[in-house]
Each structure stands twice: as structure tokens, then as C-alpha cells.
Chain A
Amino acid sequence: MTEQIKNTGFEEMTLNMGPQHPSTHGVLHLLLKMDGEVITEARPDIGYLHRGMEKLAEKRTWGANIALSDRWDYIASMSNNFAAVLGPEKLMNITVPKRAEYIRVIMAELNRIASHLIFFGTYGIDIGAFTPFFYAFREREMILDLYESVCGARLTYNYFRIGGVSADLPADFVPGVKSFIDYFRPKLKEYDTLLSTNPIFMDRTVGVGNISKEEAIDWALSGPNIRASGVNFDIRKDDAYSVYNEFDFNIPTGKNGDCFDRYMVRMNEMKESARIIEQAIEKLEPGDIIAKVAKVVRPPAGEIYTHVEAPKGELGVYCISDGSTLPYRYKVRGPSFVNLAILQKMLKGLKIADVVAVLGSIDIVLGEVDR
């Protein structure tokens, strides 16, 4: 008998959720202290997938780090590539050819759709609906096929290069993307009828896990998570990189910052991404796909922070160059890692069923949390 039972007649239960659990999205370990089904304390325990990415990066050339970046957030590798090339390009003052810029934008936005589709499918499973997962993967499969036709890979693309991209688009890529967008738009309505407007789904998500505007800023959230709380922060607009300032697109925001808003922001973002892709395809003109860059990349000594709007949020790379072929320091700001921190605050007082609803709505990838 513990002291606690003697005094109150009740015992607090400690529940280890993960690292082997169906809905912790990988190897996240949550240490939950519970009073019945209500959580009194939650502590995320990370590091089960730690591979020492930042240290590894110091022993790889600037070009080889692009391949390494594929392994951060492995379901949105194109965005990682994007973040990995921007730094050295800025240090070396490389002007990327227009065609390569548009190709990069198309790839990054397709990747955003693919990543949000995984969110949609797995969030359905977290809430208890299994079927949306298969619908989401049907569409994601088409994006992966398009990627495969461009760079030969379906998960770790390694497509971007310092100064451009590695290969030009095959002849059937542009029509393929066009037909995908035409196919994809009606499917978004299908998702809404299947999951978004389902009363049980709304019951599970509306008003659950609220994050206020101030909290979202205090905890340095980014991406859809901060936008759902009503903060209009998107790096594509606020600190436009590449050619994003040429496109006309909206930034969907939520009001209450609950699970449903975070879900809806992502669903609306897919629509906007489709719009960006359409505009980028219109602007695509024949030309070089890579700038003239020396075979051995030696950025001048200096340090730089570049960031992109990855599907999960602000993905930043802070790199220091000492003028050699290897980066002196390579710090990655993974959005999943930063977004995960607020979990311990949000979970207090919720039920165990809400843990998966909240965790799923933050949309983390453990490869990026642990790196």
C-alpha cells in the first residue's frame, strides 16, 4: 500500500503509452499519470529514433547533406531538400534558374499535399475511422508515382541540388500533374463528407486541445498548428523564399485553435497548394535546371539561417561554414520537435481518448523530432 492510498483511498496510475503503441506515430513514449481516465500529468519522452543527424552533417559535404536531409521528416523529403539547399546557395550567392525554381515549388507543394494526406488518413485512424486512411493513400500514391517518374525515388528523393535540381521533368510530368489536380479537387469534397462533417468526428475534435493565440506564440509553434490558433504566420508569405512571392494564394487560418481547426487548416491548405501548383505549371518555361556551380562546393566562411515552410511548420537550417567542403555546424530546427513541446501542457485534464486526438492533430513525425 502506498502512502497515497492510505490517505485518500485512491491511487494514481502511471501509464506508459509507447514507444510501441499503435497511435503514437512512431516511437514516441508518453509517460501519463492518470486519475481514472483523466490525465493529471503527461511527459513526452523522445529520442528512440535519434541518429545524430546534426553531427553526421558535419562530416558530410554540403551536397551530401541533401541526401541526409531526406531522413529528417521522411514523409516530406522535398521540403527538407529545399531547406538544405537554401543555406549554401545564399552563402555562395548562387542565382537559381527560373525553371528550377518553379520545379522546386511544384515539388514542395505536391509534397505538402502528400504529407497532409498522411495526416488526414492517420488522424482518421486515431479517432477510430479506418477507411479514410485508404482513401488518402490512393491519392498519395499518385503523387509518389509522379515523384518516381522525376527522380526515381518514392520516399527519399534527394532531388534538389545546390543551384537547381538534379533532373529535368519527363515529358509526361506536366500533364500528369494537371490531371492529378483535376482528379484531386473533387476528392477533397469526398473527404469532407466522409470525415470532416461527421458528427462523431466533430464531437471528438471540436473544443478539444485548445491552444490560444498567446500560447501558440509563447511555445513557438509554427505551420498549421499556429495558424489554427488564428496567427497568420506563413514563411511563404512573411519571408518569401524562392519564387513564392509570384503566386496568388491564401493562408487558411482557424479561430479556436482546437483539434478540429488544426484539421481544417490542413484540409484547406491542400486546396491552396493545388492552386500554387497550377500557377507554377503555367509559368514553367524551358531553360536550365541548374546553375553553374563548381563541382566541389566551398561556401565562403560565414553563418546563415534559412527556413522554409515545411508541411509541419517552420523548418530551419542554421549552418556555419569555415570555408571548407564540410559544414562547421549544421543545426536543424525541426517543426515537429518544437510543436511537440506544448503537448505536456495540453494533455493535462484531458481523457486518454483525447491524447491520440491531440497528438494526431499536432501531426509529428518522429524522424524529425529525434533526428
Chain B
Amino acid sequence: MIYASQSLGDLWAWALNQFAVFCGWLGIPEVIRYTVEKGAYAVGLLVFISLTALVLIYMERKVSAHMQLRYGPMWTGGWHGWSQTIADMIKLLLKEDVIPDKADRWVHRIAPIVIFVPSLVGFLVIPFDKYLIGADLNVGILIIFGFSSIAVLSIFMGGWASNNKYTLLGGLRSAAQMISYELPLVLSVLGVVMTVGSLKMSDIVMAQKDVWFLFTPNFLGFIIYIIAGTAEVNRTPFDIPEAESELVSGYNTEYSGLKYGFFMLSEFTNTFIISAIAATFFMGGWNGPSWLPGIVSFLAKTYLIVFLLMWFRWTFPRFRVDRLMDFGWKFLLPLSFFNILMIAVWILVTK
């Protein structure tokens, strides 16, 4: 039975159950049932991702505008320029696709795909609600970090293949930055994994039923995670790969049209993933007040982190590239090791 108060996850579980009964009745093989199930989820996820990207771009514009004494888009579509991003997307689709003369054509072409696909894969293991998770793998968090580190490859490909000195510098910077900030990022999450004793996303959420990890000694891990996560998605103060005032637009200087759109979309989807992991690991995921559907409380937490990242972006200046490395290797990495040590001691004491 379905009740109005039940959340989307329960609804999805109920639908799957009904579908399984239906398949059993018709005698449809297990393989087809599984494919249809996952296919439906994937379609839903793709719709969600594209909507999320649109919402995030709109949100970025509005947040930045209001922090800068502006209104942002106000005309397109009527109410507060809600359709501005849609119009922009159409503009990007219709733009001429320019490949520089001396560019490495194939690498230049596939770089945007290489950055966009991993960011889609990351969504598979994000637990939106109790049963609403694409694949509840027992290595859930590793999948996300594994795939997100492919992004650096793409940025480097794009920067190198464009055959432009600014893009090359952007690509080099990003390779150095993302590799060095991946370590504190993974290590900061390790504290939570140690506390829970599982890499599975659903286990981690379930463990926070009573108290969020944000309010435990894992708080330090949360701080490290937010800093390293900001660096991982190349946002200010760590936006040195695209550093507008230095490198024009960094690795994506020579991209236009849809391919540029992919770079931009993946920036926003990656921002969402980083925020979603923060919400899952430190803020209790879909746990929340009982009257609130799980997905709503999950999205609310995620968007809170997204807002935090935008807040950073529009108030902080940019690091210099060598200082950034100093900060990552000499401060953040030792701090995350200390965090692991502290969590280990805490586990020993409490258990």
C-alpha cells in the first residue's frame, strides 16, 4: 500500500516489487527484469542530472548576483529569469564547434566526453533515499573517487590537445592540483569509513540514524573534506586550472559550443556529487524528521553544501599555484593523517 507520507524511495521499492510479481506471473527471465529495472532507474537519473545542472547554474547566477549587489537574470521566461539557463543551453547547442587548426583533433573531441561520463557514473551509487540507489555496491565510495579521478585526465587532455599555451598551463596546473588534493579527500572520508566499518553507502547512512557524523569527532574530517572537495571540483579558491585573470579560461579556452557545455555541465555535476557525498557521509544522508520524505532532506542538505561552495567562490580570492601545493601537501595531508589517528583513538575508547 502507498501512503502520501511515504517517500519516493518507498514508492520505488513498491514499484519494483510489483514489477517483480508481474514478471514472475508472465514468466519473464530474471535478466530482462533486472535490465528493465536498472534501465528505468538510469533514465530517471539522467533526467535528474540534467535538471540538477540547470538548477545549479541558475542558482550559481542568482547566488553570485545577490552577493554582488545585482539581481542576476530577471527577464527570460518571466518569473525571476527562471529559463535563462535553458536559453543558454540552446545557445550552446547552436554554436559553431571550433577546433583549432593545429589541435590534436581526436583528443580535443573526446576530452569533454571523458570528463562528463565519470561524473554520471558517480551518481549511480549516491543514496537519494532509503531504496533509491542505483547500485548499493559494497565499495560504493571507492567507485565515486575512482571515477572522479578520471576527470583530471580529461582536463589534461583538453588542455594539451588544444595546442595553446594557456590551455597547456591550465592542464598542467590541474593535473598537479587534483592529484595532490585527492589524497586528503579520500583520507578525510576514511575516518567515517572506519567508524562505520563499511564502504557501502547505505550502511554509512544507516549508521547516522541517531547522530550525524558532523557532530562527532569526524567534524575535522568534514572540514578537510570540504576544502579538498572544493579543490577537486576546481572552484575558487582553488580554481587555478581555469584562473580567469591569469590563464584567460585555462584548459577550456579553446572549446566552444556543446563541447564547452560538457565541461561546464561536468563542473556542476561534480559539485553536486561532492556535496551529495558530504551530505551522505557527514550529515546523515536521507535521515531526517519523520514527516519529511527522505529525498527532500537529502537534497536540502546537499544544496546547503552547494550553497557553501558558491559562497566560497564569490568571496575568496584565488591561491597561487605553488602555495596551493604547499597547503595541500604540508598542511592538509598531515592534518588528515592526524584525523585518522584521532578517529582510531576515539573508536578504541568508545567501543
Listed in ascending order, the chain A residues whose CB lies under 8 Å from chain B are 13, 15, 21-23, 37, 124-131, 133-135, 138, 194-195, 198, 200-201, 203-204, 351-356
Contact = CB atoms under 8 A, between A and B. Distances in A.
B246 interface: yes
12 contacts: A13-B165, A125-B245, A128-B237, A128-B319, A129-B236, A135-B69, A194-B315, A200-B237, A203-B323, A352-B246, A353-B321, A354-B320
B265 interface: no
Contact of A131 (B239, B243, B315, B322): B315
B50 interface: no
B33 interface: no
A-B pairs, 3 with minimum CB distance = A128-B318, A23-B245, A129-B317
A130 B323 contact: no
B69 A22 contact: no
Contact of B319 (A130, A134, A200, A355): A200
Contact of B246 (A23, A138, A201): A23
A126 B318 CA distance: 9
A126 B68 contact: no
Given A131-B315, A200-B316, 14 more contacts: A22-B248, A37-B321, A126-B245, A127-B318, A128-B239, A128-B318, A198-B316, A200-B318, A203-B319, A204-B320, A204-B323, A353-B320, A354-B320, A355-B246
A353 B246 contact: yes
A135 B315 CA distance: 12
Contact of A127 (B64, B70, B317, B321): B317
A356 B246 contact: yes
B317 A124 contact: yes
A201 B316 CA distance: 8
B69 A356 contact: no
B243 to A, nearest CB: 7
Interface in B208-253: 236-237, 239-240, 243-248
Contacts of A13: 165
A127 B318 CA distance: 6
Nearest to A32: B165
Given A200-B237, A203-B323, A195 B317 contact: yes
Contacts of A138: 69
Nearest to B168: A13
A131 B321 contact: no
